[in-house]
Each structure stands twice: as C-alpha cells, then as structure tokens.
Structure 1
Amino acid sequence: MAKSSADDDELRRACEAAIEGTKQKIVMSIRVAKSRGIWGKSGKLGRQMAKPRVLALSTKSKGQRIKAFLRVMKYSTGGVLEPAKLYKLKHLSKVEVIANDPSGCTFTLGFDNLRSQSVTPPQWTMRNIDDRNRLLLCILNICKDVLGRLPKVVGIDVVEMALWAKENTPSVTTQRNLTDGPVVATVTESDLKVTVEKELVSQAEEEDMEALLGTYVMGIGEAEAFSERLKRELLALEAANVHAILESEPLIDEVLHGLESATNCVDDMDEWLGIFNVKLRHMREDIESIETRNNNLEMQSVNNKALIEELDKLLERLHVPPEYAACLKGDSFDEARMLQNIEACEWLTGALRGLEVPNLDSTYANMRAVREKRAELEKLKSTFVRTASVFLSNYFASLVDFMISDKSYFSQRGQLKRPDHADLRYKCRTYARLLQHLKSLDKNCLGSLRKAYCGSLNLLLRREAREFANELRASTKASRNPTVWLEASTGSGQNVNAADTSTVSEAYAKMLTIFIPLLVDESSFFAHFMCFEVPALVPPGGLVNGNKTGYNDDDANDDDLGIMDIDDNDSKTGKNSAELAALNESLQDLLDGIQDDFYAVVDWAYKIDPLRCISMHGITERYLSGQKADAAGFVRLLLGDLESRISMQFSRFVDEACHQIERNERNVRQMGVLSYIPRFATLATRMEQYIQGQSRDLVDQAYTKFVSIMFVTLEKIAQTDPKYADIFLLENYAAFQNSLYDLANVVPTLAKFYHQASEAYEQACTRHISVIIYTQFERLFQFARRIEDLMYTITPEEIPFQLGLSKMDLRKMLKSTLSGVDKSISAMYKKLQKNLTSEELLPSLWDKCKKEFLDKYESFVQLVAKIYHPSENIPSVAEMKELLGNL
C-alpha cells in the first residue's frame, strides 16, 4: 500500500513553517482535493475542477485549556504552503460522507458558526478510504478528548470505523490533555481503536450481550420440551403444598386457642392502665397550674426591673447636653473654638450611631420618643454641616485671595521665587479634623468643599507657574540657533550651531524640579486633607527622582495631618477604584490649566535650539518613571503630554531637515560630495551630546529617517546622469563613512547605516572599475567570454576549430590587444583619475582596479592554456603584474 501523506514528515514541516508564530502545534497533516458538488451534478468544468489542498489539525494550549483548529492550506505560485482558512473544531457540528461518491472518499465538514449557511460547503476528497478513515478518526478523537463531545456523523458506519481501526495500526500523532498541561505524544491506531470501541459498546455490555445471544441460540430448538417439563414440575410442587397444609391442621387449632387466651389477658390489662392514666393526668394538670402561677409572678418581677433599667439607659441616650447643642447651632469656627466644635461633632456622631438599629434594639426604633429625638439630631447635623461648609468655602477663598494680592509672593523681574505653601497648609490643617467629622456626618457635603478648595487653589498654582515660567524665560541667556541644518546652500565646512544653548534645557529642568514635586505634594495633601480613602502617594519625606518631596525641610511631613481615623469602618487600606476616580476628577479641577505654562517653556526652548528637545525628552522621561502612585494621575498625564509635545516638536524639526535634504534633488547638475553628508555628521555629533536618560530611541528614529532620505536622494541624483552615476555614488558613500567613522563605533544605529554605505560603496567601485577595464581590453575579455560560453555545449578540444576562435585568431587578437599594453594600462589609470573630484580615493580605487584586472587576466591565461596549448606565446601573469607595478 502506498505511503499515506499523513506520515509525510516533509509535509508536516511545511505546515509548521506556514503557521510559525501562532504557538500552535500540528497534530496531523494530509493532502486532499477540494471541490464543490462535483458528484452527480452538471455544470462548467472550470468551476468544479478539484483543487489540491492540505488539511492540518492543530492544537494550542492556553492555561489548562486546549484549543483545537482545522487549518486549510493552499499552494502559492512558488509551490509554498500558505494558510487559506481556519476553523475552530469546537464549532464542528456534522461530518457527512457524500453518498453520491461511489468510492466513499468524499466528505463535508459542517460548522455552526459560518456566516452564510446557504453557501454550499466545500467537499474534501481523499486518495483512498484509509486516508479518509484516518483523518475522520483523528478529528473525532480530538473532539472527544479536548472538547468533551462528538459531532454528528452521517453516511458512515462507526462499526466499520472500529473494524478499520483494529486492522490498521500505523503510528499517528494525537494530543492528550494531562494534568501538567497539553502534551503531544505518539500512539498507535490500536490505542485509537480502544477509544472508538468505548464510544460504541463497553466491555461489560459486550459480554452480557454475548451471553444472552448464546442462551437464545441454545434454547431455540428445545422450547416445547422445556415448557412441558416446567408444567410438570409446577403441578408436582402444588400437590406437595396442599398435602403439607392438610397434615398441619391440629397444630393450627392449638395455636389459635392459645392466642384467644392471651387476647383476654391483654384486654383486662388495658382497662386497668386506662384507669391509672386518668388519675395521673389529673395530678399533672394540678401541678402545672401551680408552677405556671409561680413562674408568671417571678417573670413579671424580673421584667419590671429590667424595663426600669432599659428606660433609664434610653433616657440617657436621648438627652442632649446644652453646651453641645449651642456649639452645633452656632456659627463660630475660630481657631479657639475648634476644640469645642470637635467635641460636639464627636458627641453628635456617637449619638446618631447609638440610635441606629445595630446599636439600638429594633423594638425601640419605632418608639415615638426615639423617632422625635432622631429627627432633632438630624436637624442639628444638617444645620452644623451647612454652616461649616459655607465657612470653609469662604475660608479657602480668603486664604488664596490674600496670597494672590501679595505680589512679593510670586517671581518678579530679576528674581525667581520658589512657591512656598507651608503657611497655607498650616492654616488648612487647623480644620483637617473638622473635615473628618463632616465626612462621618454627611459624605455628600465633601463634594462642594472639594470643588471650592480646588477652584481657589487652582488660581494660586496657575499664577505661580505663569510668573515663574515668564521670569525663567526672561532670565535665561541663550543665543538662538538657526534651524537650517542640512541646507545645501550652506557650506559644508561652516560650523553651524556653535552657540551654547545648555541654559535652555537647564531652564526646563528647573521648571520640572520646582513644580513636579510641588504638584505631587499638593495632590497628596489634597487627598488626605479632603478625606479620600486612598493609599499615600509617597511616604512622608520620601524622594521623587532623588529630590525631597517636601519643599521645606521642617515641613517634610505635610501629608501627615496628625489625624487618627474617627471611624474604624472608614479606614480602608485596600485600593478603592471609585474613590480613585473621584480623586483624579478633583485633581483635574485642582491642577488643570497649569500645563499651558509648561508647554510655553517647551515651545520657547524649541525656537532657540530644536536639538534641545532631546535633552528635554530625557529629563521628562526620568520624572515620568518616578510617578507610579495611582492618585498622582494628573501629574503623570502632564508629564506624558509634555513628552508627546517634545516628541512632536522634534519630529517637526526632523521633517524640516529632511525637506532640506530632498531639495538637493531639484538641482540640475551635482558633482562631488553633497553638502548634507558632512553636515549630517556635525548634526549627529551634536545630537549625541544632548542624549539624556532614555532619549536614545528618539534620536535613533531621527537617524533612521535622516539617513534613509539621504540615501534615497543620493540615488535619485545619481540617476540624472548615468554616465557618472557610479563615480558620484562612490565619492558620496566614501564621504559618509569618513565623516561618521568615530560615531559609528559607539552608536549601533549609525553603525548599521555605516555598513550599508560601505556595501553601496563597494558595489559602485566594482561597477566603475569593470567599465574602465572592459573599455581598454574589450577584445581580450570578449574572446575569453566566447570560449567560456562554448564550453557549456562542446568539448574543449573542439573549440579551436570554431569560427573566429582558431589559434590564428587568438594570436591576431593578442597582437592587437597586448602590443601596447603599457599604454593601455596608462590610459586605464588616466580614465580612472578623470572626473574623480576626491583625489584621496584614487590610490585605493587604482589598487582595486589592478587586482580586478589581474584576476580577470589570470583567468584568461588559464583558459588559453587549457583550450590551446601551454606553450602559446602570451605574457604571463607575473609580467603583467610587473607592468602594473611600474606605473
């Protein structure tokens, strides 16, 4: 029997190569023919032609689960397998063998997730029944082992498949799901046979059926005799039973007499017991009546005592101390009165909690006195919360207005002022504990207070940032550098961007150093001050990027408000997503608008020196990597926006420089080294000086864009004059290598382009040298090429007898070509020197030219010695080498 394609290792490897990267493993791969309804139907032959395909069963492990797939692969134009379609075996609902196919090798696979069920599914035709059974058996086993179910099978007998599995035992590959994960193992078809038989009839059921069938066959010929024998035995047993009953009659009479006597004794005893039971019941009722009266009296006494105690406790709970009531109704929130207000809040919180059902018996909750007292306490609470909220809103606004009105607090002309919020926070901490109690009394009141605080402080922060940024730019001395870096009109030797612009990036770094930790501190203080249930942003006195988060050494613990949690139920150490969302929304109100001043510094720095974007990008990345706390969302967004803006500005500079390179293409005639090549080396040197932190990617992307445009423009310019294209290319690629030699040794990206330029240089040299050699020695090497072409078709001995290749033709050619070989070599050197603007390249080019010529001439000498005769009078390679050396 021919070898099945399922055992073709080459086919399996081709399938694995086609799905490389999908993390799937091939279980089986087999060749099939794809058609659509060709059996028993008429139609156009072209559309019903069978197409070669490969069906591959694959599996993929995902955790403890295994996914199974059916892949359809087709052959590309070059005969390489490539994926065509992918089906998930979990959607396989039906396997149907086409009845119209007399060979039984054609079947269809039905999937329940196909978009259009009206389209006729493809029919798959196997080479023989064995291949068909092997594929379908593998599909059914995977469905059972991996998916735990079997699809509907139509048109094929599973018993036939079981018999086939017994007879065929070639090695196949299947996949078992073990406890340690999916493992691909090799088993035989005998193992698969067990699986199929398990699906049909178990071993025990098969044995029972065989025993039953054996009994049935044995008795079919003796049915009448067996029935007669049973009848005779039944009659004999009945006769024996009747005789035994008749013999035991005296014994039965004696037993009945004894039972009658026992019944009379039992009736007498039952009558006596009934009399005693009535007397005992009367006695028990009398005793229970006496005990009930005594218990009721005792219970009433205990209940009365407990009721008096409970009422005393309840009255104590319902009592409102007059001093607390006065504080809660008043509107004085001076610092001197805060202690009394805090005590009143604590009492009110405890009182309200004491009247709630968990702390108060549910039977008291609906009492009129309790309901009235609860309503009174709720009224006190709402009055106090409203009064305190109005006071705090006005207090926050007054604090900020006082600071804004003092101009000396902000940066002034000639003086940068570091923001100092120590006094502001000190005054706010006076009311921190009050805010804790307001939250415990009414959580909804914090929303308006948070908005009021954010609105007031936002004005202060934006004013501080604006004044600081303005003075920072005004006090920074830096000469503006031109953005024309790669302009062709600028001389390549001119030293552009000689001015030092480091003060620009230092100014940007100073802006971040001052304000980023300030914003983090303000976010942390706001989160704790306004009672958000989130973890701390940074530990007290912690470090951010190596800088202390506090702005005054004596105020390093600004985040610690000195407050203990009032309610243990309110203290949550876990992350609360709802609280974090509310906090970030409030921080947006607190800090929104301050980013404009950071953007202004970035834009200002870009105008002075676009390359400073590299330094600013690295500075921003270092700060961004230090902001990991969830509650500092706005600061991370601000740094991310700054990083994006810096990248955008730098990309704008790169695009402008690339446009300057492309403008070189419009020049009519270009000779020698283009101006942007040495200028790019100057630019790259400057960019490497500005790299800080992780800005390597930003610069490497710029290098890639620059050099790609440079090389493309260089090739386009070279095509304008094909006669001098190779000279132009080799001079420019050599200049690119010379100018970037030092940088390419330390910068991997430039090293890649250095090697690319080196390859292009070598190719241009080879082409140019070949043209020069063939110009001077055309007849010599054409003669050799004709000989080489004929050697593919005829023997070397026959070549001297070909037209134009005789010994006489050889000698004529040698005489005309090599008679003045020294003059030809000299002409070759002069032609190489002609049109070469970079004289320093001439020695290396001449060396390459001599080596190439000698290699070609040596091949010619060997060819002549092989075809004609070694004694043929031609100059040796050594003589030619000496002639070249004398020039």
Structure 2
Amino acid sequence: MTAIKHALQRDIFTPNDERLLGIVNVCKAGKKKKNCFLCATVTTERPVQVKVVKVKKSDKGDFYKRQLTWELRDLTEVDAKDASKENPEFDLHFEKVYRWVASSTAEKNSFISCIWKLNQRYLRKKVEFVNVSSQLLEESVPSGESQSVAGGDEDALDDYQELSTREEQDIESMMEMCEYAVSNAEAFAEKLFKELQVLDGANIQSIMASEKQVNILMQLLDEALTEVDTIEGKLSSYEEMLQSVKEQMDQISQSNRLIQISNTNNGKLLNEIQFIVNYMDLSKGQIRALQEGDLTSPKGIEACINASEALLQCMNVALRPGHEKLMAVKQQQQLFVDLRDTFARRLTNHLNNLFVHQGYDQSSTLSQHQTELVLPKHSPLHRDLLRYAKLMDWLKNTHREKYDGLSRTYVDYMSRLYEREIKDFFEIAKIKMAGTSKEAKGKFATLPRKESALKQETESLHGSSGKLTGSTSSLNKLTVQGSNSRRSQSSSLLDMGNMSASDLDVADRTKFDKIFEQVLSELEPLCLAEQDFLSKFFKLQQHMTTSSALHSCTQKDMVRHMMNKIFQSIETELNSLIALGDKIDSFHSLYMLVKMSHHVWTAENVDPASFLSTTLGNVLVTVKRNFDKCISGQIRQMEEVKISKKSKVGILSFVTGFEEFAELAETIFRNAERRGDLDKAYVKLIRATFCFASQHFFEGVEARVAQGIREEEVSYQLAFNKQELRKVIKEYPGKEVKKGLDNLYKKVDKHLCEEESLLQVVWHSMQDEFIRQYKHFEDLIGRCYPGSGITMEFTIQDMLEYFSSIAQSH
C-alpha cells in the first residue's frame, strides 16, 4: 500500500498541488467487485481545501486516473456500520449516500480516523460520525502498517534520512584508516564501538564539567517553552479567526459564483431578446408600405420592394430552440402572414390590371403600322413592367399560386395581342409579295401546245434526235412541248431555255428576297426581346449553383412553354407565307432556303434550345422540302419533254436553261451556309440532263412494248426498224461522245463551287449513270433486235477511258 500511496502522490496529486494524507482500497457494496481507492487530500496552497478523491486504474491497467472528487465540507455523515465488531463496510453521505466495502477493517479505521482529524482541524461544520468507537476518534493511529496507510499527520516526516556530504566523507576517511574495514566488518564495527565508548565517556565528562552552563541552558529552554506556549496560544486564536474568515470567504465565493451565473443567464436572455427584436421586427414605414404603399410611382415601388424583402427575411429567419413557444413570437409570425397575404393580394390585382390595360393600349397603336412591313415594338411595356421584377421574384417565393396565376394572365393577354399584330403583319407581307408576281404570272404562263407536233410525236419518232456532241455550229433550238398535265405558273429550266435573260423579272425576285428578309428581321428581335423580358420579369433564368442544374433546365422549359403560347401563330403564318412565295415562283425556294438557313444559324448561336431557334428550324424543314420539290419538278419536266420529228439537231432548251439556272443559283447561294444543298441539286440536274438525250429513241421502243407489241416484233415498226437503229447508233461514235463529254465537263466545272472533291463526285456519278444507261440500251437491243448484230460503236471500257482522260486533262 505504501508503494501505491507514493505512486498516487507522484502521478496524480503532486501535479495538482495536493498532498495525500489517507487512502483505503474499496469497492462498491452489493455490486460486482471493482476495486478503486478513496483518497483524503489537502491542497498545498492556502486557504487549504480538503477533498475526498476516488481514484481508479485505467482500463488497460497501466496508470491511475481521477474518477470523482467531493469537497469534505459537503460530507454530512460517516457511518462505520458497527463500532464493536470488525466490519469492513462504511457509508459516506455527500449529496447522496455512497456505500463502500474496504479491503480490510484496519484500512477502513485508518481512513475514518484521517477524515476525523481533517474535519477537526479544517472544518467549522463538524461531520457526524456514526457507529465509530470513541477510542478510534480520540487516540492517535497506531504505528506500523496502519499508520502508513492512514498517512498520519501531514506534518510527520519519514524516519529515513540520507547522509550528508560531510558524513559520507568522514565514513570514507575512517574506512581508509582501517585496512580491514571491508574484509572484516565485525572487527571494524568492534573498533568503532570502542571508539564510540571513548567518545561517550569524554562527552559525559565534558557535560559534567559544564553543569553550570547546562543549568543555564535548561533555564533558557524552559523560558523558550513558555514563549512557545504563548505563541501557540496566539496562533490558535489566529487560526480560529482565520477559520471564521475562511468560512466567510467561502460564502462570498459561493455568492460570487451565483452572481456570475445570474449575470451569464441575464446576458444570454438579453441576446435572445436582441435576436428576436433584430430579426423579427418590421418598422412602421415598412408595414405601411406593405399595407397601402403606392405601386404606381418609382419611389413607392422601391419602398414596397424594400419592405417585401425585409418581410421575407423575417419570415425565413431560423428560430432557435424554444422560440416557437413564445407568445410574442407566435403573434409576430401571424402578423407576418397577414402582411404577406395582404401585399400579395394588392400586388396581384395591380399587375393583373397592368397586363389588361397595357394589352389594350398596345392594341390601339396597331393602326399606325397597317401599311408598313414593321412589327410594333413592346419595349415601353417591358420597361414599365420590369420595375416590378423584384416583386415578382418575391411573389414567386411566397405565393407560388398567385405567381403562376399572373404568368397565365400575362401569357393569355399577350398571346391575343401578338396574334393580332402578327396576323396583320403577315397580311401586309403577303400583299407586298403578291404585288411582285403580277408581271411574272404573264411571263411564266404555260407555253401553247401544238396539236400537229403532238400528233407527230404519238405516231412515231422517225428521224434523228440530233447529235449530243454539244457543237455550237448551225444549231437551232428544239420546239419543246409540255406534257398532258397542266403546267404550273412557276419557273422551270424549260421556261428559262425558251426565254431570254431580259424576259426574266430579276427585280421581282430581288424584291421578294427583300420582303422575306424583312419578315425574318422583324420577327427575330421581337421574339428575342420577349424571351429576354420573360426571363427577367418572371425570374426564370437566374444564376444557379452547380447542384441546381436541373432546376435551371426546368426554368428554361418554362420560358419556352410561355413563348410557345404567346407566339403560337408565328410558325403557321411563316409556313403560309412560304407556300405563297413558292406558288408565285418555285425558284423563290432558293432565296428562302438561304435566308432561313442564315437566321436559323444566328438563332442557334444565341441559344440552340430557344423558341426562336426551334421555330425557325421547323420552318426551315418546310423550306428545304420546297427546294427539293423545285429541283424534283425540274427533273420531272425534263423527263416529260417530247421532241417533234420535225425538230432538227440542236441544243435542248433545258441544257441552256440549266446554265442560266446555275448563274441565278450561284448569285443566291454565294457564301451561304446551305451551299451543299445546291451542289447536290447540281448533281441531280446534270444527271437528268445527260440521261435525257441518250434515252429518247429507246424510250420510243419501250413505249411500243408497253403498248402490247412483242419485243421481237418492234424491229418491224417503221420508226424503230433496224435501219433506224443503225442511224441512231451512227450518230454517237466514240469520238463525238468523248467530245460531248468534254463540253459537259466544262459546263459542270464552270457552275460548281470551287471544291475539287465535289466536281469529282459529280463526274463519278455521271460516269455511273452513263454506264447504267449503256447496259440498259444494250439489253434492250438484244431483246428487241435479236440476231441483228447491232451494237454501240464504243464499249464500256472506252467510256471509262473517256471519263478518266477528260478528268485528268482538266
């Protein structure tokens, strides 16, 4: 136990300026045995504080640690259970009763004795000791192990003292003088004993010789003892006085602690009150602005904005635990709800009236633009409404149903207004567009059909259809007849081939181009301005964090939905205008494709998913379809052309027409985004032009077979006998074919854009088509002229060499 006591003093109490005076090994009564130590300690600094400390070994068992500490002044009773019998149990009564079982009765008695002494010396309020023998309380603790455990009086010193340096030196000198001090300790000890007897005798003689001095010394010692008794008496009285002062100081300290706790509580209460007042209070001016603030003047609107933002902050403040139970807080929250509802109702009614009145006011200005191809501007309306953008944002956060209702009201009124404006605007555009076609209708009228030529064509195709060499000497234009179907009023390569360039009303087409561009140029800023207003006024495109990307996407969808509602007539009107332009002149589709593509490209650069981009993209599909239909119509008219037997050798009208078409198309598509569509159209037109000439005779053969004549009997037809077949083949020797192909290559190269790869694609397509026709003609000759031995004057290999050499020479 002594070792444990020293360890506890060193490791636990010395660092805390405490001295360990008593210790007992205990465990709790009635529970599983878990040993710990109860220690009685005093502080080394004054005023002395006496404590009872519970010390326990750590879970790992390698060191001790404090577990509980009690002030001795809080101890009210010590119960030893039995004063006459040995019993290791005892109770300590602090704020509650702690029941202990000591490892031995001796340790228990030593610890209780130590507590009694500390109580007698340091505490005015005495502890009550129950079932403790009076002998244990009055007598000192016996010497030996019990005294060691109890710790004794705190002023007791250990019996062991270390040797001083002087004493060590004297012992060493004595041992050096005696050679056998180490080897014969008994002889050395006997020698020392004899020397000690000599010294004792000398001392006695010296004392007896100085008896007078001893008497004087004794007298002085008696006087000193008397003085010590006097001082002890005074010290006792001082100690009693200090004990009283200590108790008073303890009371003052306790009072100070209570005052400090009270001040802390008052400070916390003040902070709570300040929090509620600062974050849950509106000024009278703000309340007045919400209840009756002017929503028409800039100053009044600004006051309402500030008040509404302050109200929102008050309503969204994060209350601390317990605030919601305060009656004042509940009343203030109800006030905020009432103010919110009142202001939301006032704001909604005011903005509803603004939407209605502004819509009617704007309608009254439509008459100013009835003859101009200009859409009314809504910037004044947007400017007036944007003053309320912050209030709309407030309404969105506080009354979503009212915000949604206002959104629907705005879309409803503005869709009606825009529908009237856009309808009138497109009516003017159609009137102006129709005015450009009055003269064109006469110029592009259907050419008269000659019955004699038609009759000759139906009877036979006797005679040569002319060399396809492209020679320009002594060539006359063929008389071109229309098909049985009704010709449309639109332009065609056939019409262009029969009309001089001066006959084409280029000015009309240019005017149409300007009208169409004006329409798109007016629609584009109108849609962009409205979309920008919707985003700002209804707060649908605010900057969002990375985690709110989905919310931002939803807001864009809302803008697109509102734009679709407001401008639902634009796509229909545009398609109607495009249909009119295409009806007037199918070549208008070239202008519309270029213009529409450019505006789609511009809109996609601004916002690929915007209403404008989507709408123009949809309309562009219609324009592209009309362009493809225009090219297909030209090809179909080529295929339906019939050549009269009286016609002489010459250049087909649509070949010359293609050249003029290319010049017109190149002017329109210069630097256009959709240049690739024109180049693809060139491939189709050139292929159709090339195939027409070589198919004409054999189409007559196929027509006879289609009428029911057997294939082997076709050669007996006058117009399609073997002699006529030889004449046709003779007109296409290899030399002339190559020359014609060379001229055709030059025309293709002239009108295609400056891209070598495109020219190669077109030339390769023409080669494939030519070979396909060659094989078709050979097969037709074999079936309709069996055994005649008639073949083309050039082979497929010859054709491949022609195409290759022409491409390499250029």
Q: TM-score, normalising length from structure 1?
A: 0.46
Question: Computing the radius of gyration over CA atoms, which structure comes out larger, 1 or 2?
Answer: 2
Instruction: State the structure with bigger RCO (CA 8 A, min sep 6), 1 or 2.
Output: 2
